Chain A
Amino acid sequence: MQHLCFPRQSRGDLHFVHVRQGGLYWVATTTADSSPFTVIEFLNRLAALVKDYCGSLSEKSVQVNFALIYELLDEVVDYGYIQTTSSDVLKNFIQTEAVCSKPFSLFDLTNVGLFGAETQQSKVAPSSAATRPVQSSREQGGKSEIFVDVIERMSVVIGSDGVVMKTDVEGEIRVKCFMPSCSEMRIGLNEEFSIGKSQLRGYGASVRVDECSFHEAVRLDEFNSSRILRLCPSQGEQTVMQYQLSDELPSAPPFRLHPTIERDSGGRLLMYLKLRCDLPPKSAAINVCVTVPVPRGSVSVSQELSSPDQSAELKLQSRAIEWNIPRFAGGTQLSALFKLDASALGPAPLLEVGPVVLAFELPQLAVTGLQIRFLRLSPVQPGPSQRWIRYVTHSDSYVIRV
């Protein structure tokens, strides 16, 4: 219930403003009628700082690192006034070392190769690699690493006739730097990258975004000529560039649904769903979850799925069938048949079915086509250093009407 509550409460003259990050509430109190943008942005920044310094953001890590967080708060806010939130400045003042809370997880074991085989050669960085405190890079043991992530969130509405009614992509390039000696980095984007609707496009595979903004530390002197971002990364995480694209995706939307819904003679509702994945054949979507809202009064469902690794169940609380597909390769099609038993269906149950919502993750893929051509660090890093470039597209809201 808290989760749905409103990001501001008040009690007399005192206002409570909160944000939710990492399963925690970050609450600020204010008496004056201060700017909500500032308070919320600050809380988000504080959460990000705590994440940078503690490695991860969870109840556990906050409990273990309370001394560090006290220290951080002391430097960040003085007498209710924000002093600095730059991790470069703060690292000179913060003395406490972070205590890493490493939850045991089977997932981590997947990185260990058979018989101790070399796993470092795998091209993909383990997803937990970037969740570590910034300060550990100071010690000898910490590897110097840099991660450049292209993260895109897409929200799509597809009409019942299959026409794409809306597509929106919000993307960002995020740099996580654990490399104390790095003074400058250059990130090269696609050369054909263009901004704004009006620009004429050639026939080549151009990459276009509507609007784009950069972190203030980014120098853009080489951006217009050769699409290169120059910046001096500070330790920890920062968003270097944000961009956004509406309505014109370079490729078809990744999923299409062909539903057939009817009532059989026994009063049951038959739903036959054909789901097609239009990604390029080499890529795949993972953790696909299809949510199909069902009419009130639905009691149970029987299903026929095309492979055993998929699963489906009826969630009575949210009144929806959840169909989980762990991996969905591009260019393939899956189908499912759901037979829905209902105790008392309303007079128009078909109206109550839908819209279908998909949640998924597209690893190693940016739907806008944005790519990072190269990543150069200067001065040239001595010793072993690792540079990771990762792409991922998340579904923000992928709705298909039926």
Chain B
Amino acid sequence: MPYLGSEDTVRELRRALSNPNIQSDPLRYRNAILKVIRAMSQGLDVAGLFSEMVKACATVDIVQKKLVYVFLCSYATLNPELSLLVINTLRKDCQDPNPMVRSLALRNMVNLRLPSVVEYVEQPLTAGLRDRAACVRRVAVLGWAKLHNLQPHSEIDGAVVNELYGLLRDPDPVVMVNCLRALEEILKEEGGVAINKPITHHLLNRLEELDVWGQCEVLRVLQRYRPQSENELFDILSLLDTSLVSPHPPVMAATLNLFLVLCPDLPAVSFAALERVRGPLLAACGSVSRETRFTALCHIQLLLRSLPGLMGAHYKRFFCGYAEPAYIKQRKMQVLVELVNDDNVAMLLDELKGYCTDVNTDTAQAAISAIGRIGRSYSDECLEILTGLLGLKQEHITSAVVQTMRDLVWVCPQCSDTVCSALEGCEETLQDSQGRQALLWLLAVYGERVSSAPYTLEGFIDGVRREASLGVKMELLTTAMRLFLCRPAETQDMLGRLLHYCIEEETDMCVRDQALLYYRLLHCGMEETHKVLGGRRSEPSLGVLIGRPAEPISQWAYSFNTLEPLKQGGVETEPTSRESPQHVTFDLNNDLSDALNCCQIEEVHSGSDGSSAEVLASSVAAPLSLSLSPALSPEEFERLWTQRLELHAEKGADELEGQDYVCLEERIRCPAIPHCSPQSLQAAMQLVNIQTLAFTPHLVTPWRVYLYTHTQLAHCGGAARRALIVGELLYVGEGGQSAGAVEKGEADEDVAGHVVGSHGREEEVKVTLKQRPRDEKALKGFLSILTAVLHTLSPESSSIHTQEHCTRLHSHKLNPL
């Protein structure tokens, strides 16, 4: 961007540069050139001085040379013809006895970036590779890479490549690393420099001569190496062990990255490496440079996805400093949420509470939502804080609290009582649309429990004309409808007014269409409306029992030590389905969501066989029907389940009379089940109305799934008998079979002697079920459905295996406990 008056400046500079008096005085000449460079840095267009600067190039003063080269490299592409004049001077400099002059000339000759000078450059570059001085060789090696970049389609000169490979053995470490870099660029199309065993070992042996940057480069290139034997692999790893705890974060990160790439099949080694870097990573979190702190925090978040316990003891290191910028505080809070446990929860919440009144509203809101996340495991303590915050009557705090409560209630329906009583009076403080939308959602779902709900709603409906937010209007319509379903007398009038306004006066098509839809729905009668609008109140896939599953390292290893983890918003800490109920509110129809799940499952298994849908369909068509309502909360499930285990433990003693339980243990052959992803398993189960409550992480043994359903068997007598089934699927894995049996202990013993198929026990999933009240026919029906689902999901299983399972009811199966 040329400044005004740049012509005057350029003219003045030209006069100074061509003044013979100045030219004869080295100091004054250098100062004149300095002025040109200054003008250039400030954005002035000084391209017109090119020929004067070319003349100034021929000098013995190195500082002046350097300045001129800065100028020439910036403007050479604009003046390719004039630039050729410099080549002679540069080529002469390449013969200079002073190595500094030689390297300077060689570097800048290539930096001119002119395709026309290539022919003049090749000879000095070849000579440069064999120069005595290391600094010239460094420049020459990289020069070849630049040259290749200048003519990307030219043929690669085999002799040069060979020479570069030879220079990997150069005594100067920087020359060696530059060779790697140059070969990577030149041989890009062949996949980069060849990393074979001798080169790898050579590089590893010279690692400690290199500086931080060279080490990082070598470690990155070595990621492509595949050790030929386990012994070699461990030799390499032990050699790298010191780099893993390097005080320099770049070396530490590059080494860990190499570890993760080299041993994807040795999780124990990878986990040990993660433990090793804990110290250096924590140190980086306390670094003076806040950018380093931030980067370290982002990477700790990655590590925690696989090793949730990694930083447990060090949670205090993640307390926010007062003066830290908001982006660091938010990351720290995200980490703190992951570290919460019974011992530190009080301390952590106390700390987070302090951040809720932060001057920075983003920080305050992040703290509030962090408390909400902890509330999924420690709801009472967190709700107390959240309701306390409502007392402050501050706009942004109230809004964040209401949104947090909405998200909390969605996964923890047991919190709803407290939330409902806290909601009264919030609407006065709420200003922003996000907060009001959350309030409306809560009123829609728990309207019958909030006594003032109709009044609040009336306030909203009266103000609908002034309402600017589309989201609030849509939410308002749904809320008015759902509230009408449970409290028709109080809301009929206002619903009428709202629908009238939205249909007659509203200009936005989305709102109008939705109003029309609801209006017509009401015409179909209350029952139909109920069916459509009576959506879910809580997330169906509650994972509270085991918490967030630890992911395998491979899930994130590819993004480790890249810019990816630094992305705004951070790593996605959980599957979207659990994020917020907001996205599900319009997904009101259960059938619809089931249909979606169905699509999903077919997509997942489109590679296997086409019969999956049929099998599922046939199992659903059995006289037995399964249903998910009433929903079972995780706490309830846990209670029922542990009760079952206790009973089991006591079973040798007195038989408990009067209980209507039945327990069943069963083995189903379905080899690939534990390899199928939790999402597809869950989707498949939901398709036949079996709810999965909790999973162990993917590919972890022993692998467990907890599930429940209600069976309903149509009896000839007319009245259907309903029973609740809770169950566990257990797969102890190939290697861990014996260990698993010990761990399972007593529960496993009574089947230990049981004869199973000729394939042994390796590929079986153990199913433990408990039904109340007892209904064996339904239980067997359920088992066959479950078996069908599992077989459908494991692609290797063939139809022959379907019936090849051995059933064994407990000895006391016929005498209810």
Listed in ascending order, the chain A residues whose CB lies under 8 Å from chain B are 3-8, 10, 15, 17-21, 30, 33-38, 40-44, 66-67, 70-71, 74, 78-79, 81-86, 92-93, 95-96, 153, 155, 157, 159, 165-166, 168, 170, 211, 213-215, 242, 244, 246-247, 291, 293, 296, 318-320, 346-348, 351-352, 354-355, 357, 359, 396-399, 401
- Contact B247–A36 (Cβ < 8 Å): no
What residues of B have a CB within 8 angstroms of the CB of A401 in the complex?
A: 354
Give Cα A93–Cα B284 distance, bound, in whole angstroms. Answer: 32
What does DSSP make chain A's interface, helix, strand, loop or mixed? Answer: mixed
What does DSSP make chain B's interface, helix, strand, loop or mixed? Answer: helix
- Contact B249–A37 (Cβ < 8 Å): yes
Given that A242-B247, A244-B286, A347-B392 are contacting pairs, would A95 and B66 also be in contact in the complex, using a CB cutoff of 8 Å?
Answer: yes
Residue of A nearest to B347 (CB): A165
Give Cα A183–Cα B296 distance, bound, in whole angstroms. Answer: 36
Residue of B nearest to A347 (CB): B393
Question: In the complex, what's the smallest C-beta–C-beta distance from B425 to chain A, in angstroms?
Answer: 11
Given that A40-B292, A66-B41, A79-B145 are contacting pairs, would A15 and B563 also be in contact in the complex, using a CB cutoff of 8 Å?
Answer: yes
- Contact B250–A41 (Cβ < 8 Å): yes
- Contact B249–A41 (Cβ < 8 Å): yes
21 contacts between A and B (CB under 8 A): A4-B327, A7-B295, A19-B291, A35-B220, A36-B565, A37-B252, A66-B37, A71-B63, A78-B107, A84-B211, A244-B283, A244-B286, A247-B316, A293-B359, A346-B394, A347-B391, A347-B392, A396-B321, A397-B320, A399-B322, A399-B354
Question: In the complex, what's the smallest C-beta–C-beta distance from A93 to chain B, in angstroms?
Answer: 7
Residue of B nearest to A353 (CB): B357
Listed in ascending order, the chain B residues whose CB lies under 8 Å from chain A are 34, 37-38, 41, 62-63, 66-67, 70, 100, 107, 135, 138-139, 142, 145-146, 174, 178, 181, 211-213, 216-217, 220, 247-250, 252-254, 279-280, 283-284, 286, 288-292, 294-296, 298, 314, 316-317, 319-327, 347, 350-351, 354, 357, 359, 388, 391-394, 561-566, 568
Q: Which of B324, B391, B394 is the one whose CB lies under 8 Å from A296?
A: B394
What residues of B have a CB within 8 angstroms of the CB of A396 in the complex?
A: 321, 323
Given that A37-B250, A352-B392 are contacting pairs, would A42 and B213 also be in contact in the complex, using a CB cutoff of 8 Å?
Answer: yes
- Contact B561–A36 (Cβ < 8 Å): yes
Given that A35-B253, A40-B289 are contacting pairs, would A8 and B566 also be in contact in the complex, using a CB cutoff of 8 Å?
Answer: yes
Give Cα A355–Cα B146 distance, bound, in whole angstroms. Answer: 57
- Contact A168–B66 (Cβ < 8 Å): no
What residues of B have a CB within 8 angstroms of the CB of A84 in the complex?
A: 174, 211
What residues of B have a CB within 8 angstroms of the CB of A79 in the complex?
A: 142, 145-146
What residues of A have a CB within 8 angstroms of the CB of B249 in the complex?
A: 37, 41
What residues of B have a CB within 8 angstroms of the CB of A71 in the complex?
A: 63, 66
- Contact A38–B250 (Cβ < 8 Å): yes
Quick one: which of A5, A34, A41 has the most chain B CB within 10 A?
A: A41
- Contact B289–A348 (Cβ < 8 Å): no
What residues of B have a CB within 8 angstroms of the CB of A355 in the complex?
A: 354
Give Cα A155–Cα B323 distance, bound, in whole angstroms. Answer: 11
What residues of A have a CB within 8 angstroms of the CB of B284 in the complex?
A: 37
What residues of A have a CB within 8 angstroms of the CB of B289 in the complex?
A: 19, 21, 40, 44
- Contact A17–B319 (Cβ < 8 Å): no
Give Cα A381–Cα B646 distance, bound, in whole angstroms. Answer: 81
Q: Which of A3, A42, A95, A246 is the one whose CB lies under 8 Å from B63?
A: A95
- Contact B211–A33 (Cβ < 8 Å): no
What residues of A have a CB within 8 angstroms of the CB of B211 in the complex?
A: 84-86
Quick one: which of A6, A33, A38, A348 has the most chain B CB within 10 A?
A: A38
- Contact B317–A168 (Cβ < 8 Å): yes
What residues of A have a CB within 8 angstroms of the CB of B347 in the complex?
A: 165
Given that A157-B319, A213-B283 are contacting pairs, would A36 and B295 also be in contact in the complex, using a CB cutoff of 8 Å?
Answer: yes
Question: In the complex, what's the smallest C-beta–C-beta distance from A237 to chain B, in angstroms?
Answer: 13
What residues of B have a CB within 8 angstroms of the CB of A357 in the complex?
A: 322
Question: In the complex, what's the smallest C-beta–C-beta distance from A125 to chain B, in angstroms?
Answer: 21
Question: In the complex, what's the smallest C-beta–C-beta distance from A267 to chain B, in angstroms?
Answer: 16
